[in-house]
Every structure is written in C-alpha cells, then in structure tokens.
C-alpha cells in the first residue's frame, strides 16, 4: 500500500472531490489531504521532523484549518510521497506583458513595441525568483524530495464568463499572440529546470486538461470545488472540478509507477508567485 499526502491551497478541492472515484480505481494507493487558504499554504513551513505548519495569521485562519482537516498541522514522515498543490510562479505577469508587446522573431500582434526573447527569459527568471527561494527554504528542513503541482492554468472560458476582469482581457490577448506557445515553453523550461535542480519533481498539468498555452479546457471549470467543500464564485477561473481532480490524481499514479520511491534526501537550496 502506497500512502500519499497532498498538502495545498483551495485548489486541492478538485482532488478531494475525486477521492471516491480514485479510491475505486486505485485501492492500492491511500491519499490523504491537508488543505487551507492560499496565504496559509504558500507561507507554511516544514520542520526537521517533517511536520508542515501552515502560516495562520489569526484565530479565524486556525479555526478554518482545524475545521477542514481535523488538525492544525500535519506530519509527513509516515507518507511515501508528499505532494504540494497551489503554487503559481508568476506566469500571469509574464502573459500580461504580451498584451501590449510583440516578440522579436515572431509574427506581429499589431503592437508598436517589441520584446527580445532574451529579455523575456530574464523576466521569467525574475518572476520565478519572487517566491521560489522562499519555498525551497520552507521545504529544506524536511530533507526529502517532494512533488510540486501548480494551481490549474486559467480556464479558457474566463473570457466569456468574466469579460469585465482585467485578467480576462490580458489572457485573451496572450492566447491570441503569435508568440504565446514559445513564451509559455520558456517559462515551463525554466521552472522545470529549477524544480529538478532543487531535488524535487514537477507534476505538470495533465495534457488532456490543457486547452493551449496557460489555459485549461472550460469543461473542467464547471462546478469547481473548494478545499472546505464551499462553492466558488461564477467568475472563478482557476478552481476546477472533480473530473480535473481525477485527471491529476491519475497522472500522479503514473508518476509514482514511473519513478518509484524517492532516493534523494537533501534538496539543494536554489534560486517563486502566489
């Protein structure tokens, strides 16, 4: 029996909602969840005993964590693998730059200004650096490799469901940009390299949930779930449903069967966005 612990922000709601279907399909794998609001997760810390301490800023935060999980902190040492879900690493800001800029070497999007690919790579590195070092420092005391899964990419339907949002406008411009695929691959390559060099693994978003660069198929955003079972707003575009959660858990099973038990015990501190 393989035991997996999934720690994360509200985005683990999709996976929790798929728990029953996953258990029926994979009775040899036990999955436990420990969820909380984004800031409490993103600023949480591991200690040397492998206990994850959320960053609860007040009694309301602590009460919500306790109510949702039945405990205020979670010990990871008895689990075969630990998965973290909810980090973002700054691609929103990178995508936003393309609303008003072409990229040299690609067809024009009709903007009067152009960015060099080398400059974009520097911007991507800078955006990853905003939070990645702090994440590595927070994980280091546990001295074990972990699996990192990001918050879902924005649902492609955001442009129709919430056109009044600034992000909807920026994403519409990005998705239509001739350089979108290349810029997104720059970011993925940089992030993949950072995570691997730090001794951890990146569980990338399952291909069958992806609608394009930095976009999730709209059907996965219908009836999304929160970590505590509450409903999401109609304009929400980054929380997904049980179908999405099952796809991620299935991808996790494939990863576990491919890589087996971890061998490294000391992630290297290297050079993250909420």
Residue 272 pLDDT class (50, 70, 90 cuts): very low
Torsion angle defined by CA atoms of residues 168, 172, 174 and 180, in that order, rounded to the nearest 10 degrees: 130
Kindly state the average pLDDT of the residues 50-68: 95
Q: For 27-38, how does the pLDDT look when each residue is reduced to its tens digit (9 = 90+)?
A: 999 999 999 999
> What pLDDT is stored for residue 263 in this prediction?
41
The pLDDT of 115-124, averaged and rounded, is: 96
pLDDT of residue 57 exceeding 60, the answer is yes
Whole-number pLDDT of residue 138:
97
pLDDT for 269 equals 30
For residue range 201-221, list pLDDT tens digits in order. 999 999 999 999 999 999 999
Domain assignment present for 251: yes
Cα–Cα distance measured from residue 1 to residue 121, given in angstroms and rounded to the nearest whole number: 43
Q: Which of 4-8, 250-254, 256-260 has the lowest mean pLDDT?
A: 256-260
As a whole-number percent, the residues of the chain with pLDDT over 90 amount to 84
The answer to whether position 200 is within a domain reads: yes
Closest to 36 (Cα-Cα) out of 71, 9, 73, 74: 9
pLDDT per residue over 169-191, tens digit each?
Answer: 999 999 999 999 999 999 999 99
So what's the pLDDT on residue 259? 79
The CA distance from 12 to 6, in Å, is 8
Cα radius of gyration rounded to whole Å, the chain = 19
Range 64-73 average pLDDT: 96
Span 108-116, mean pLDDT? 94
Instruction: Give the pLDDT mean for 82-96.
Output: 96
Q: Is residue 116 part of a domain?
A: no
Provide the H-helix boundaries in the chain: 13-16, 19-25, 38-42, 59-69, 91-97, 117-129, 132-139, 158-161, 166-175, 180-197, 242-259
Total structural domains in the chain?
A: 1
Residues 6+ apart with CB under 8 A from 252: 4, 83, 147, 149, 203
Task: Give domain status of residue 267, yes or no.
Answer: no
pLDDT classification of 11: cutoffs 50, 70, 90? very high
In a domain, 41, yes or no: yes
Q: Is residue 110 part of a domain?
A: no
Question: What tens digit of pLDDT does each residue of 219-228 get?
Answer: 999 887 767 6
Over residues 63-87, mean pLDDT: 96
In a domain, 175, yes or no: no
> Which range of residues forms the domain containing residue 53?
2-91+129-169+184-259
The pTM of this model reads 0.90
Phi, psi of 24 (to 5 degrees): -65, -40
pLDDT bucket at 122, cuts 50 / 70 / 90: very high
* Residue 144, in any domain of the structure: yes
Helix (H) or strand (E) holding 53: strand 51-53
| Residue 265 predicted with pLDDT over 80 | no
How does the average pLDDT of the chain come out, rounded? 91
Q: Which pLDDT band, with edges at 50, 70 and 90, does 15 fall under? A: very high
> Domain holding 196: CATH number?
3.40.50
């Amino acid at each position: 029996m393989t035991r997996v612990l999934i720690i994360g922000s509200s985005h683990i709601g999709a996976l929790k909602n798929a728990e029953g279907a996953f258990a029926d399909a994979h009775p040899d794998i036990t999955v436990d969840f420990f969820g909380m609001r984004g800031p409490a997760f993103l600023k949480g810390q591991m200690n040397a005993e492998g206990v994850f301490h959320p960053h609860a800023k007040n009694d309301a935060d602590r009460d919500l964590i306790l109510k949702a999980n039945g405990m205020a902190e979670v010990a990871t040492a008895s689990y075969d693998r630990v998965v973290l879900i909810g980090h973002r690493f700054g691609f929103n800001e990178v995508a936003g730059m393309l609303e008003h800029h072409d990229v040299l070497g690609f067809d024009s999007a009709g903007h009067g200004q152009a960015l060099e690919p080398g400059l974009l790579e520097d911007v991507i590195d800078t955006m990853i650096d905003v939070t990645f070092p702090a994440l590595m420092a927070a994980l280091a005391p546990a001295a074990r490799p972990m699996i990192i899964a990001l918050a879902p990419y924005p649902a492609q339907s955001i442009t129709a469901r919430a056109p009044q949002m600034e992000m909807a406008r920026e994403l519409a411009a990005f998705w239509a940009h001739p350089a979108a695929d290349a810029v997104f691959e720059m970011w993925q390559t940089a992030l993949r390299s950072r995570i691997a060099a730090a001794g951890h693994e990146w569980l990338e978003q399952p291909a069958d949930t992806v609608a394009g660069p930095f976009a999730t198929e709209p059907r996965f955003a219908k009836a999304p779930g929160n970590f505590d079972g509450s409903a999401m707003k109609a304009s929400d575009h980054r929380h997904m449903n049980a179908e999405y959660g099952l796809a991620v858990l299935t991808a996790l099973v494939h990863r576990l069967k491919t890589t087996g038990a971890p061998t490294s015990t000391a992630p290297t501190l290297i050079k993250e966005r909420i």
